Amino acid sequence: MAARHPGRLFFFGALPLTAPLDDVRAAVGALARLDYCRGVVLGTSGLGRGLDDPRMLPVLEAVAAARLPVFLHPHYGLPDDVWGPRAARYGHVLPLALGFPMETTVAVTRMYLAGVFDAVRDLRLILAHSGGTLPFLAGRIESCILHDGQLVAEGRVADGRRTVWDVLKEQVYLDAVIYSDVGLKAAIDATGPDRLLFGTDHPFFPPLTTDRQAEWPSVRLNVDAVSAAVGQGSPDAQAIMGGNARRILRLDERP
């Protein structure tokens, strides 16, 4: 389908993480050779123990060497009892609105604390939901690191270390699926407008009406957030709405 419509359709691949490591590496190589593949999709569990699991390091190294960014997307990774005994009365609001972003925040913070980003400098992550709560909490994470007696005693808070802020600006991209200019401004402050990619959550949030051809609020809210955050039609808006994706995902490269 992508070949029939060159320049219009691209895709991200999935990895067989339950297979032996050599097979996973082979799958990365196979994806990298596909003309229209522009990355891989990973969840936060990795091989079952999170992305800070040392067993994941060879996988991330292979993906980075293949120039394939990782789109990191959460999926109900927090325990159900977090939402309390009355959670069933609240639909999916708590896990979707709060659980998904926190799951991403925890996963990436664990990667940072484990030294994954320093070990794999060419690794590039695209974080769903504008990076979860990382743009808001990066400063708090940094403060906790600086004041952690164990980390200081182990020499892991040395002068010249790369901070969470550094990693966000150097190895992380964010989608702009945040539905509000307040959150989007925080994301832009954290990474820069050149690292944001427009998104809609399509087709996850269709209109709850019989007219599925009507305008989707999930799309309009994110368009409006970009306009409110950086100005409709501004250079930053044009970058977020498409220019960044063309550059980051190499969409202008032809087979």
Structure tokens, 49: 């123990």
Task: List helix spans (H) across 66-148.
Answer: 93, 100-113, 116-119, 134-146
Rounded Cα distance between 227 and 181, Å, is 8
Domain count, the chain: 1
Whether 240 is covered by a domain: the verdict is yes
pTM given for the model:
0.95
Predicted local distance difference test score (pLDDT) of residue 210:
67
**Model confidence pLDDT, tens digit, residues 178-235:** 999 999 999 999 999 999 999 988 888 888 876 767 788 889 999 999 999 999 999 9
- Asked whether residue 125 is assigned to any structural domain, the reply reads yes
Collapsing DSSP states into helix, strand and coil, what is residue 234? coil
| pLDDT per position as a tens digit, 38-97 | 999 999 999 999 999 999 999 999 999 999 999 999 998 899 999 999 999 999 999 999
* Domain around 158: 11-248
Tens digit of pLDDT for each residue in 142-184? 999 999 999 999 999 999 999 999 999 999 999 999 999 999 9
Given a contact cutoff of 8 angstroms between Cβ atoms, the answer to whether 80 and 143 are in contact is no
DSSP H or E segment with residue 182: helix 181-191
3 in a structural domain: no
In a domain, 2, yes or no: no
